Structure 1
Amino acid sequence: MQNLNNSLVSIIMPIYNGEAYIHDSISSVKKQSYDNWELIIIDDHSNDASLQIAQKYAEQDERVKVFQTEMLCSGAAKARNLGVQYCTGRYIAFLDCDDYWSANKIQLQIALMKEHNANFCYGSYAIFSGHVNNLIGEFRPQSLISYSKLLRGCDIGCLTVMYDSYALGKHFFPMVDKEDYALWLKILKSEHARVVLCESIIAFYRVSSESLSSNKWRELVRQYNVYRRVEGIGVLKSLFYLSCYACYGLKKHYINYRGK
């Protein structure tokens, strides 16, 4: 399918020991109906075959570019930031190596951003476990989101985000826990941010056994630290937002994830 315009889309993919999943992720990028993209893969010194698999794709397609972090186990935030540093596209998007996209993801989002004069787009996504066909639910975010609403609950999946770096500039992930959430807060706080939702399912998020059994108390502590240390919000207000976030999280995981 012919491109809607000539704007290059940069896709940032951090990898660490993802050899079991990376084929599905990279293939979903290569199958995009919008083909003017570059895939920036940042390997965080994997000790499996992830790097070799990524390099094989790079040899076959010049749009795929592979780099490594300087230090072992630098983490997803540093890997993504390195990708942002190296990327050259107008639009920047993110995809982890164990998730994948629908074939029209980029095309739909660019069309929506142009139609609504938006510079930040997020979307609905499906949830799966194990095999890519083992769908267990879906999440459809609120259509109207703002900095204030985001403080009370996060509807933005990193694998669905695309933003216009010409309008917003390049943004780097803060070096904190929940770095993606902290970045969305920073962007939405900007007076230049114009946000649009893609209501269609455009991405597929893998739920692992680790994420299913994650420590909820630790998650709340990390959330509180974002309020206090990143946003500089007072104690009482942070506790209020934390209670809203916890309630919204329960609703999101047990009601909004339909079919789960």
Structure 2
Amino acid sequence: MNTQQPKISCIVSTYNKAKQLTKAVNSILKQSERDFELLIIDDNSNDRTKRICKKLMKQDKRIRYFKLNENHGHDGYPKNYGIKQAKGQYITFLDDDDVYRQDALKVLYNFIKQTKVDLIYGDYLIHNKGKAKPGWSLDFQASLLQKMNYIAMSVVMVKRKALFKVGGFNENIHILKDWNLWLRLHKAGYQICHIPIIITEVYTGDQSISDKYKLIVQHNEDGSYYSTEFNPADCKIYADKTCLGTQRLLRVAIFTMTKDRKFYSQKMLESMVKTNNYPYDWVVVDNGSKDGSIEWLTDWAKKNKVPYEFVNKN
């Protein structure tokens, strides 16, 4: 196994697609950019996947193969597992039935370094029933991303640290989990950029959405679509369910200004305790109260072991 830290980690999650997987893997191994590792995350396949991967590993030491102990039914957990194992600063995801163009990694890496953004995405060709047509080729628009997913999984390169900050893929979401991730990365303040260069050849079956999940995606009158599993306008930044760890909450400073309003101070404190889910420091600025406010607040803070500081302005 290659013990050096590569620039790029390519993650391929797979399940029972041994025949297609070989083609996808070979498209990575033939990249003009050579400084990468390839992580194959096998979601407990029962076909020839393991045998093929073991053979490929003997041919190229950059390949790391992981077979999960159980099948998860969708690729949220396998992809997060890959992120967790990745050593590269930059991460790409290639679906097990898609193929990269030969310069895909070089193009994505050069542009993400030049632009200094956190996520960069390119274009793709869609192959269906022997015919090829271009997929979406749209520059990044936050408002449009609220309505539709025009960023394909297999054309993206993203900083590993950004994925950890938002918890990676939401493992509660079965389909369009990539759309959910792009929305959360943007909401967290990460910069996203498009390059109009074909990166990937995407191969689809007769249906782009499996029968099992066809009710998850609904279409609006204007042709845009939405997921019944999440609201694009109301995504939490950190994934609801992820194997990448729990969210590290930011510490909040809460300031309270008071003077002779003991009753309202008590109501404020009751509300603060009920609604605040973050670790916090509490600062009370008192403007010379004579109604016992400061004494009551001090006593409460000590009893409940709440970090506090009282400032008397008079």
Instruction: Report the TM-score, using the length of structure 1 for normalisation.
Output: 0.78
Contact conserved, 1:140 with 1:199, CA < 8 A, in 2?
Answer: no
The equivalences for 1:147-226 within 5 A come to 148-166=143-161, 168-170=162-164, 171-175=167-171, 176-177=173-174, 178-191=176-189, 193-211=190-208, 217-220=215-218, 223-226=227-230
Bigger helix share: 1
Q: Could you report, residue by residue, the CA deviation over 1:29-74 in whole angstroms, capped at 9, with x for unpaired residues?
A: 0111101010100111111111211121112111000001221345
How far did residue 137 of structure 1 move?
Answer: 0.7
How far did residue 135 of structure 1 move?
Answer: 3.9
Q: Distance in 1 between matches of 2:73 and 2:234?
A: 20
How far did residue 7 of structure 1 move?
Answer: 5.7
Q: Distance in 1 between matches of 2:81 and 2:135?
A: 29
Which runs of 5 or more structure 1 residues have no equivalent in the other structure?
1-5, 233-260
Instruction: Report the TM-score, using the length of structure 2 for normalisation.
Output: 0.65
Q: Distance in 2 between matches of 1:135 and 1:213?
A: 21
Letter in 1 for 2:154: L
Letter in 1 for 2:159: D
Q: Distance in 1 between matches of 2:151 and 2:136?
A: 10
Secondary structure of the 1:127 match is: strand
Secondary structure of the 1:42 match is: strand
Q: Distance in 1 between matches of 2:234 and 2:52?
A: 37
How far did residue 210 of structure 1 move?
Answer: 3.5
Letter in 1 for 2:25: I
Q: Distance in 2 between matches of 1:7 and 1:45?
A: 27
Contact conserved, 2:121 with 2:193, CA < 8 A, in 1?
Answer: yes
The equivalences for 1:123-162 within 5 A come to 123-129=122-128, 134-146=130-142, 148-162=143-157
Q: Could you report, residue by residue, the CA deviation over 1:206-255 in whole angstroms, capped at 9, with x for unpaired residues?
A: 110232775754422970331079627xxxxxxxxxxxxxxxxxxxxxxx
Q: Distance in 2 between matches of 1:38 and 1:17?
A: 22
Change (3 A) 1:208 1:27: same
The equivalences for 1:1-260 within 5 A come to 8-129=7-128, 134-146=130-142, 148-166=143-161, 168-170=162-164, 171-175=167-171, 176-177=173-174, 178-191=176-189, 193-211=190-208, 217-220=215-218, 223-227=227-231, 231=235
Q: Distance in 2 between matches of 1:218 and 1:79?
A: 21
How far did residue 128 of structure 1 move?
Answer: 0.8
Letter in 2 for 1:227: N
Secondary structure of the 1:162 match is: strand
How far did residue 18 of structure 1 move?
Answer: 0.8
For the pair shown, the structure with the greater C-alpha radius of gyration is: 2
Change (3 A) 1:7 1:44: closer
Q: Distance in 1 between matches of 2:170 and 2:68?
A: 17
Letter in 1 for 2:144: K
Contact conserved, 1:18 with 1:97, CA < 8 A, in 2?
Answer: yes
Change (3 A) 1:19 1:169: closer
Secondary structure of the 1:20 match is: helix
Which runs of 5 or more structure 2 residues have no equivalent in the other structure?
220-225, 237-314
**Greater RCO (Cα-Cα under 8 Å, separation 6 or more):** 1
How far did residue 96 of structure 1 move?
Answer: 1.2
Change (3 A) 1:76 1:230: farther
2:309 corresponds in structure 1 to none
